[in-house]
């Protein structure tokens, strides 16, 4: 009976701690040069914007890049215009939650969380929908009239990672994509051509990248703990479970409650020869990867769609910034191992092959997002993924 009370207490602690979801606050009223007047705080960026495409939503951002008065204020906006049948393709915002308000018409919207659960809704004029930070989502107009919406972001520079471009237009080599999606080289090459018309434009700026600090030494049950509460054997003697994919064993607040509120967690990764940790991202954490054994080819794609790659070997490290799409692959002949440090006690993982093609996102949304036919989408849906 006593152990049940302790477990309940720990679970309550885990779910009651809030995570800061916006930029750090300024310590002054605003960031601005001297000699300004009221016009500095006014913008006409969203006024009279024409629709630029019949196939895709016209997205016009209002952020610190085109409205400097927003710098440091932790908020920005965007106007989205959807001709009938158009889509805002699958994407995510690495630095902001998004509150979408419908001005006109109706939209079908959806998001996929890190448990690979799809949440969908239809929203019409006057209704709102919130997309949590760094969660993959989309909006599509299946109606016969134009739809419009206005967005509030919880960052002055939210960033956008458009997944068709991140995956197939950033320069990620064929092999990681073939192994991530379980498809042949010919399919990957065809996909690169098919997705050529899609686009992505955003700028990056640093923001707070860790959980908020506790105001106590640690979070633990009220009484009855000793040193063993802070000890874990989760990463000890872990067997390799796949020859094709990396065996990833996480050590976080879900299996080690002592980490709750401490803003840090870890993982052990084991790569048999030829295996991969498929393209994915962590919505709540940056990741420092340290190689224990062997060598790995690694890479990540930023919100400018620039690919950064490196080969890292025993004793070397590589950092993957928070919510950036990345991968690791072992092209060597021996098993490679690495240990990871995360800047959150619960970093989360969105594996893009599963998020996109195994979560239940409707075929028409995927077809329009990737500029591909139903056969192509079905091939991806039935590919062998991790």
Enumerate the known binding-site residues for Mn(2+): 280, 282, 287, 326
HSE-up (13 A, CA, CB side) for residue 20: 17
What is the DSSP secondary-structure string of 16-40? H-----SPPPPSSS----TT--GGG
Q: By C-alpha distance, which of 82, 143, 168 is closest to 370?
A: 168
- Which are the contacts of 67, defined by CB distance < 8 A and separation ≥ 6? 43, 45, 76
Count CB neighbours of 60 within 10 A. Answer: 17
The residue ranges of DSSP E strands in 142-275, in sequence order, are 147-153, 161-162, 247-251, 265-271
Helix axes 185-194, 374-381, angle to 10 degrees: 130
What does the radius of gyration of the chain's CA atoms come to, in whole angstroms?
A: 22
Binding residues: 277, 280, 282, 287, 326
Per the rule left: phi > 0, alpha: psi between -120 and 50, beta: everything else, 360 is left
3-class SS of residue 323: coil
**Long-range own/partner contacts, residues 311-317 (CB < 8 A, 24 or more apart):** 315/290, 315/291, 316/290, 316/291, 317/288, 317/289, 317/290, 317/291
The residue ranges of DSSP E strands in the chain, in sequence order, are 58-62, 76-82, 87-92, 98-104, 106-112, 118-124, 128-131, 136-140, 147-153, 161-162, 247-251, 265-271, 276-281, 287-293, 295-301, 307-313, 317-320, 325-329, 336-342, 350-351
Binding residues for oxalate: 277, 282, 287
């Amino acid at each position: 009976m006593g152990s049940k009370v302790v477990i309940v207490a720990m679970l309550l602690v885990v779910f009651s701690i809030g995570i800061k979801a916006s930029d750090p606050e300024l310590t002054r009223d605003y960031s601005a040069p001297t000699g300004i007047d009221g016009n500095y705080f006014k913008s006409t960026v969203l006024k009279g914007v024409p629709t630029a495409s019949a196939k895709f939503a016209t997205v016009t951002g209002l952020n610190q890049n085109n409205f400097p008065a927003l710098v440091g204020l932790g908020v920005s906006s965007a106007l989205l215009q959807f001709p009938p049948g158009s889509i805002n393709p699958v994407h995510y915002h690495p630095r902001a939650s998004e509150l979408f308000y419908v001005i006109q018409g109706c939209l079908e919207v959806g998001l996929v969380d890190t448990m690979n659960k799809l949440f969908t809704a239809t929203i019409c004029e006057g209704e709102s929908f919130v997309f949590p930070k760094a969660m993959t989502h989309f909006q599509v107009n299946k109606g016969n009239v134009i739809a419009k919406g206005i967005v509030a972001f919880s960052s002055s520079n939210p960033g956008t990672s458009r997944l068709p471009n991140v995956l197939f237009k950033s320069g990620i080599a064929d092999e990681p994509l073939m192994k991530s999606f379980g498809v042949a080289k010919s399919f990957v090459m065809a996909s690169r051509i098919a997705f050529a018309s899609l686009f992505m434009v955003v700028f990056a700026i640093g923001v707070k990248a860790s959980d908020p600090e506790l105001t106590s030494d640690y979070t633990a049950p009220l009484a009855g703990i000793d040193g063993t509460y802070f000890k874990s054997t989760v990463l000890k003697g872990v067997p390799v479970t796949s020859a094709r994919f990396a065996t990833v064993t996480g050590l976080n607040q879900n299996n080690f409650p002592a980490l709750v509120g401490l803003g840090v967690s870890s993982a052990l990764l084991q790569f048999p020869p030829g295996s991969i940790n498929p393209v994915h991202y962590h919505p709540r954490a940056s990741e420092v990867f340290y190689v224990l054994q062997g060598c790995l080819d690694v890479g990540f794609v930023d919100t400018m769609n620039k690919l950064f790659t490196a080969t890292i070997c025993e004793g070397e490290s590589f950092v993957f910034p928070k919510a950036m799409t990345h991968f690791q692959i072992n092209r060597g002949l021996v098993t490679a191992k690495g240990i990871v440090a995360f800047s959150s006690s619960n970093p989360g993982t969105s594996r893009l092959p599963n998020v996109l093609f195994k979560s239940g996102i409707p075929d028409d949304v995927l077809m329009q997002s990737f500029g591909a036919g139903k056969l192509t989408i079905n091939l991806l849906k039935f590919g062998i993924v991790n």
